[in-house]
Amino acid sequence: MFTGIIQAIGQIARIEPRGGDVRLHIDAGSLDLSDVAPGDSIAVSGVCLTALEPSAHGFLADVSNETLGLTTLGDAVVGDAVNLEKALRLADRLGGHLVTGHVDGLAEVTAIEADARSRRIGFRVPATLARYLARKGSVCIDGVSLTVNAVCEDEFEVNLIPHTLEATTLAQRQVGDAVNLEVDLMARYAERLFAGEATP
């Protein structure tokens, strides 16, 4: 479990084909890995991955074909910047919202507009996911916890303050880019409850 508060920007240092899928070598940048053990979870641009061989500089992570097909990691290249967050501990502050690192789908950047020192970014989402988005609700984009400013059918907008632009990779996004999208966990459970279905 994560909070969507990015702790560092890392980089994909190497992509190693392995038996039909891949192993990523992640340069962790300024992320402190001293308390990360093999098998711990780290969110990489919103994708929960299992850290292998953590060191002072980075870690490895195996990525399945399922994940490659459903997230932006399938199109990643060496040198790509990635948002990094270590798994939430019970004593940590919950500064964002509860994020699982299980990407629901891809969203497309449709608009970018300056707004004073902030930046407004519009996204288009698959129709099957649009129903989980609500004005002033939470959404996770490339691992970043954000507040939804506006929703219209299958499109929504967020506002990025200067700190978010500096501390995440979202400042690099351009119109037409794909991003990893995770909808609010609470919205999913609310849908199940209203539908009268038992949660697993």
Q: Which residues contact 137 (CB under 8 A, 6 or more apart)?
A: 147, 148, 184, 187
Q: Are residues 190 and 109 in the same domain?
A: yes
Q: State residue 91's pLDDT score.
A: 75
- For residue 153, give the 3-state DSSP assignment: coil
Using CA atoms, how far apart are residues 57 and 188, in angstroms rounded to an integer? 37
- For residue 15, give the 3-state DSSP assignment: strand
Tell me how many domains the chain contains. 2
Under a CB-based contact definition with an 8 Å cutoff, are residues 162 and 118 in contact?
yes
Q: State residue 184's pLDDT score.
A: 86
Residue 79 lies in a domain: yes
Q: Are residues 15 and 80 in the same domain?
A: yes
- Of 86, 114, 129, which closes a domain? 86
Q: Are residues 70 and 114 in the same domain?
A: no
Mean pLDDT per 10-residue segment, the chain (200 residues): 95 96 97 97 98 97 97 97 93 83 96 97 96 94 97 96 97 98 81 61
Under a CB-based contact definition with an 8 Å cutoff, are residues 151 and 44 in contact?
no
Residue 98 lies in a domain: no
Q: State residue 93's pLDDT score.
A: 78
Under a CB-based contact definition with an 8 Å cutoff, are residues 29 and 22 in contact?
no
Residue 99 lies in a domain: no
Using CA atoms, how far apart are residues 10 and 80, in angstroms rounded to an integer? 8
Residue 100 lies in a domain: no
DSSP state at residue 89: P
Residue in the block written with tokens 């919205």: 187
Q: Are residues 109 and 190 in the same domain?
A: yes
- Of 57, 86, 115, which closes a domain? 86
Residue 70 lies in a domain: yes
Residue in the block written with tokens 């004005």: 135
Residue 91 lies in a domain: no
Q: Are residues 29 and 67 in the same domain?
A: yes
Q: State residue 101's pLDDT score.
A: 94
Amino acid letter, 49:
L
Under a CB-based contact definition with an 8 Å cutoff, are residues 167 and 6 in contact?
yes
Q: State residue 173's pLDDT score.
A: 97
Residue 67 lies in a domain: yes
Q: Give the domain CATH number at 17.
A: 2.40.30.20
Residue 95 lies in a domain: no
Structural domain including 20 reads: 8-86
Q: State residue 199's pLDDT score.
A: 47
Q: Are residues 28 and 64 in the same domain?
A: yes
